[in-house]
């Protein structure tokens, strides 16, 4: 009977489902994907040159973990993402909050930001290489350029949608106009800001790989590019899987952070 009700709950829009069912469904989809992969790779449906067997990828992971190159490349990439993302966020969060709160800041920045925002980051990679060379700074610049303007616009939107009467109530309780961003806009938008960070850190990874494919001497993107030249498709798969795993960890990290520092928001 409880099985039946668990099943029927899953058919109701927005109705929460049990933790057990939730885990089962997630595992099931993973199993399907991995199963499909094994089927394609083992049954000679796709040549091994293009699609390695999952076991082969695991074995390669073990080998590269032993010789340390997997870790050094992963750390190299993660480091660039972290620096680029932090530099971008530290400026974008406060500036975005002021942009969404003060019409003058918005009027000043909107035209420029919306122009730059639609330029593909990739088109700036040659320029950055010319200006800053192919060191760490260049890859950091690509990430900052790729994430900053998106963060700015999304955080400004969050600040703009703070209910006007919430701010009015704060005024009638003695909040000064000059401290409205600190006392009201910032705490009120905190859950939304954390969501913006969670989404944009994923984009930071995308831009990183782009930057590493073009110019780098270490990192997961560089590892993939080198593997492509040597037809080592298992290493390419490994690099992709590492990025995915790091993405999953970051995502869960941000979700946890949100629950810890913004427990009021559901």
Partner 1 sequence: MTSSADITISDVSLRYGKGAKTVLALDGISLDVKPNEFAVIVGPSGCGKSSLLYLIAGLEDLTGGRITVGGQGIEGPGPDRGMVFQSYTLFPWLTVAQNVEYGPRRRGLGEAERKALVDHYLEEVGLASFRNHYPAQLSGGMKQRVAIARALANDPAVLLMDEPFGALDSQTRHTMQRLLLRVWDHSHKTVLFVTHDIEEAILLADRVFVMSGRPGQIRKVLTVDFPRPRVGDIVLDPAFIAMKREIMGLLRSEDDDH
φ/ψ of 218, rounded to 5, equals -160, 170
8 A C-beta contact, residue 243 and residue 205: yes
Q: Which of 172, 178, 217, 230 binds partner 1 (CB under 8 A)?
A: 172
Q: Which of residues 190-219 bind partner 1 (CB under 8 A)?
A: 190
The packing angle between helices 186-214 and 220-229, to 10°, is 30
Q: How far is the CB of 102 from partner 1 (least distance, A)?
A: 17
| Residue from 6, 127, 166, 257 in contact with partner 1 (CB under 8 A) | 166
Given a contact cutoff of 8 angstroms between Cβ atoms, the answer to whether 223 and 239 are in contact is yes
> Which uninterrupted H or E stretch holds 231?
none
Q: Which of 171, 253, 255, 259 binds partner 1 (CB under 8 A)?
A: 171
Q: Among 215, 194, 197, 201, which residue's Cα sits nearest to residue 243?
A: 201
CA distances from 230 to 69, 174, 227, 241 (A): 16, 68, 5, 19
Residue 49 lies near partner 1 (rule: CB under 8 A): no
262 contributes a contact to partner 1 by CB under 8 A = yes
Q: Which is nearer to partner 1, 99 or 185 (CB)?
A: 185
- Residue 181 CB, shortest distance to partner 1, in Å, is 14
Tokens 């998106």 label which residue?
A: 150
Q: Which stretch binds partner 1 (CB under 8 A): 73-81, 90-98, 186-194, 246-254?
A: 186-194
User: What's the CA gap between 32 and 139, in Å, rounded?
Assistant: 36
Residue number with CB closer to partner 1 (13 or 163): 163
263 binds partner 1 (CB under 8 A): yes
Determine the interface stretch with partner 1 among 14-22, 79-87, 150-158, 167-175 (rule: CB under 8 A): 167-175
Residue ranges in contact with partner 1 by CB under 8 A:
163, 165-166, 168-175, 177, 183-184, 187-188, 190, 262-266
């Amino acid at each position: 009977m409880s099985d039946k009700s668990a099943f029927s709950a899953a058919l109701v829009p927005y109705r929460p489902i049990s933790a057990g069912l939730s885990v089962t469904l997630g595992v099931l989809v993973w199993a399907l994907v991995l199963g499909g992969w094994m089927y394609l790779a083992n049954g000679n449906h796709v040549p091994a040159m293009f699609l390695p067997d999952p076991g082969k990828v695991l074995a390669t992971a073990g080998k590269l973990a032993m010789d340390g190159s997997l870790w050094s490349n992963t750390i190299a990439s993660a480091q660039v993402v972290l620096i680029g993302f932090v530099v971008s966020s530290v400026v974008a969060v406060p500036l975005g909050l002021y942009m969404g709160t003060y019409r003058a800041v918005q009027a000043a920045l909107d035209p420029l930001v919306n122009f730059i925002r639609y330029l593909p980051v990739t088109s700036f990679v040659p320029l950055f290489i010319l200006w800053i060379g192919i060191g760490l700074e260049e890859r950091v610049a690509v990430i900052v350029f790729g994430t900053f303007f998106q963060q700015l616009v999304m955080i400004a939107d969050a600040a703009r949608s703070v209910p006007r009467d919430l701010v009015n109530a704060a005024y009638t309780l003695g909040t000064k106009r000059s401290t409205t961003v600190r006392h009201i806009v910032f705490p009120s938008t905190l859950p939304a800001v954390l969501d913006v960070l969670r989404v944009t850190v994923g984009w930071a990874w995308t831009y990183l790989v782009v930057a590493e494919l073009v110019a780098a001497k270490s990192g997961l993107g560089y590892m993939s590019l080198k593997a492509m030249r040597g037809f080592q498709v298992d290493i390419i798969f490994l690099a992709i899987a590492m990025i995915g795993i790091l993405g999953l960890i970051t995502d869960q990290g941000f979700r946890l952070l949100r629950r810890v520092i913004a427990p009021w928001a559901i």
